Amino acid sequence: MNREVFSQIPQVEKLLQAEAVQQLLIQYPRCLVVESVRELLDSIRLLPKPKIEKVDFSLESLGSAVRGLVSEKAQTSLRPLINATGVILHTNFGRAPLSAQAQKAMLEIASGYSNLEFDPASNTRKNRHSHVEPLLRSLTNAEAALVVNNNAAAVVLVLNTFARKKEVVVSRGQLVEIGGSFRLPEIMKVSQAKLVEVGTTNITNLGDYEQAVSAKTALLLHVHTSNFKMVGFTQEVLLSDLVKLAQARGLLTMSDLGSGVMVDLKRSGFDHEITPQKAVSAGVDIITFSGDKLLGGPQAGIIVGKKEYIRQLEKNPLSRALRVDKLRLACLEATLRLYLDQDNACKKIPVLEMLLRPLEEIDKQARDLMSQIRAVVNDGLSLSLVDGFSQSGGGALPAEDIPTKLVALHCPRMSPEKIAQKLRGNEPPILARIAKGQVLFDPRTLRDSEFKVIVQAIKNIF
C-alpha cells in the first residue's frame, strides 16, 4: 500500500482539534465524538487504494463526515416508525400503540412517586395488583387476577405451579408456534411439566383426553390456536366438555387464550373469538392472555381464574421474578378502565379503532393520501386506489382478512423494492407493502398526521 496515501490520514488528536470537530464537542458528549472520529479514520484505512486516493482529507471535509456519524449516534436507538403495512399487531413494530389515556397515566406515574404498594389511608403496605385486580374481576367475572411480564411468563408460572413434574394433556391441533418464539413444548420444558399430546392435528375428541389421563396428570390445557385456522374436516373438544372431564377426574383446566379480546367482535362481523369472559363462564380454572395484543395495552401476561389458584400462583417465587413494574400497571389500569364502556373502548383503544374502522373511512383516507402525493409529485409516478386486505396480526383473528383500500404507487424508473428501501431509510422509517410490482400503503394502520411525513418522503425520493 502506498505510504504517501496513508500519511495523509490525520491522527485522531489532530482531527479532534479541527474547528468543525471542536464545535461538535460543545454540542455532544465527548465519548461520542471521539468514537466517531476513530470510526471514520478506521473506515478510511479499510478503503481500497483507488478509493482512498479520492478521499478529501481537508479537515472541513473530514469534520463534516464526523458530524454525520455523531448525529446518528446521538439519536436514541428505540424510536418511532410509520407502519403502512396494514398489519395492526406486529411484534417487530412493538404490537399495540397505546391510548391517550394509557399514555397519560404512564407519564404521570413515571414522573414521580406513587402508591404502588402502599395505602396512604391505613398507612399499610398493599399488593401492587390491587390497582388492576378489581377491574379484571369485573370485566371477566373471574374471582381473582394476577399480572406478570407477558403471556409466555403467565403460562410458565401456571404450569410450574400446578404441573411441575406432572403431566399436562394438550391436543396436537393446539401445539402451535406463536409469533416465532412461543413454542409450547419448550415452554413446558422450562416449567418442568411433561407434555402429553393427544389426538391428531385436525381431530381431537373427548375420548382422546380421557385415555391420556393418568395418576400423573395435573392439568388439561386448552390453547387458543389464534394465528392459524384449520378448515375442512376438523374437530375440537368444547371448552365446557373439557372442564366437565377435568372436574370428574379431579384435574385442573387451563386456557391460554393468546390475544385477550374483551369486546364481542362477533357483533362487528368477525369470526367468533373466545373471550376471557366466555372461558370463565365455561368454568375454566385458570385463563391467561396477553396485554399487548387485541386488548390494546402494555406488554403483560394477564392471569384470571379461581381465587384459590391465583393465590397459589402468587406464592410461587417465580411470580416475584416475573412481576410487572409500575409503568405497565399504570398503563394497564388506564386501558382496562376504557373497557368499562365497550363502545368507548372501541373508539379510544387504537388497535380496536383500527380493526373496526369502517371501509368508507379508509377509502376517504386513501383518497386523501393519494391527492396529497399527487400535489407534490405529478409526473413519472402512477398512483391508484386498489382493494386489498389488512391483517390483525399478533396471533389474533386467523384467516380473517379485513377488507381495506390501498394506495398503490408505481414508478417505471424505480423498482418497488428500491422505493420500499428508500422509504425505510426515511426518518422516521416508513414501512409499506409490495405486491405485483407496486408499493402499497394501507391507511388502516396510519394516522392522518402521518400522511405529511409519507408525502414528504415520496417527494424526496422522486
Q: Which is nearer to ligand PLP, 259 or 438 (CB)?
A: 259
Pattern 147-186, binding to ligand PLP, x per CB under 6 A? ---xxx-------------------------xx--x----
CB of 179 to ligand PLP, least distance (A): 5
**Between 67 and 224, CB nearer to ligand PLP:** 224
User: What residues numbered 359-398 form the site for ligand PLP, per CB under 6 A?
Assistant: 395
Rg value, the chain, Cα: 28
Which residue reads 408525502 in cell numbers? 455
Q: Are 198 and 212 in contact (CB under 8 A)?
A: yes
Closest CA to 276 of 263, 265, 266: 263
Contact 405, 388 (CB under 8 A): yes
Q: Which residue is nearest to ligand PLP (CB)?
A: 258
CB of 181 to ligand PLP, least distance (A): 8
Binding mask 331-360 for ligand PLP (x = CB under 6 A): ------------------------------
- The separation between CA 130 and the C-alpha centre of its own chain, rounded to angstroms, equals 26
- Nearer to ligand PLP among residue 33 and residue 300 (C-beta): 300
Give the position of cell 388439561: 220
Site string for ligand PLP, 273-292 (x = CB under 6 A): -----------------x--
Q: How far apart are CA 12 and CA 414, in angstroms?
A: 41
For ligand PLP, give the closer residue by CB, 35 or 177: 177
Residues in the chain: 462
Question: 289-328: which residues touch ligand PLP (CB under 6 A)?
Answer: 290, 301
User: Grid coordinates standing for 343?
Assistant: 363502545
Cα torsion angle, 131, 133, 136, 137, sign: negative
Closer residue to ligand PLP (CB): 105 or 396: 396
Number of neighbouring beta carbons within 10 Å of residue 425: 12
Whole-angstrom distance, CA of residue 2 vs CA of residue 11: 17
Select 272 or 436, whichever has its Cβ closest to ligand PLP. Answer: 272
Please choose, from the candidates 186, 159, 182, the residue with its C-alpha nearest in 3D space to the C-alpha of residue 255.
Answer: 159
Mind giving me the DSSP string for 121-153?
A: TTTEE--GGGGTHHHHHHHH--SEEEEES-HHH
Minimum CB separation of residue 312 from ligand PLP in Å reads 21
> In angstroms, what is the minimal distance from the CB of 322 to ligand PLP?
11
Q: Residue 10 phi/psi, 5° resolution?
A: -70, 160
Is 258 a binder of ligand PLP (CB under 6 A)?
A: yes
Residue closer to ligand PLP (CB basis): 301 or 416: 301
Q: Where are the alpha helices (DSSP H) in 87-132?
A: 100-110
Taking CB under 6 A as the binding criterion, the range among 59-67, 199-207, 221-229, 334-342 that sits at the site for ligand PLP is 221-229
Closest to 264 (Cα-Cα) out of 248, 281, 276, 249: 276
Binding residue for ligand PLP, selected from 226, 275, 391, 438, defined by CB under 6 A: 226
Q: Which is nearer to ligand PLP, 97 or 258 (CB)?
A: 258
**Taking CB under 6 A as the rule, which mask of x and - marks residues 32-71 in contact with ligand PLP?**
----------------------------------------
Q: Which one, 18 or 397, has the nearer CB to ligand PLP?
A: 397
Cβ–Cβ under 8 Å, residues 232 and 203: no
The residues of the shown chain that bind ligand PLP, judged by CB under 6 A, are 150-152, 178-179, 182, 223-224, 226, 256, 258-259, 290, 301, 395
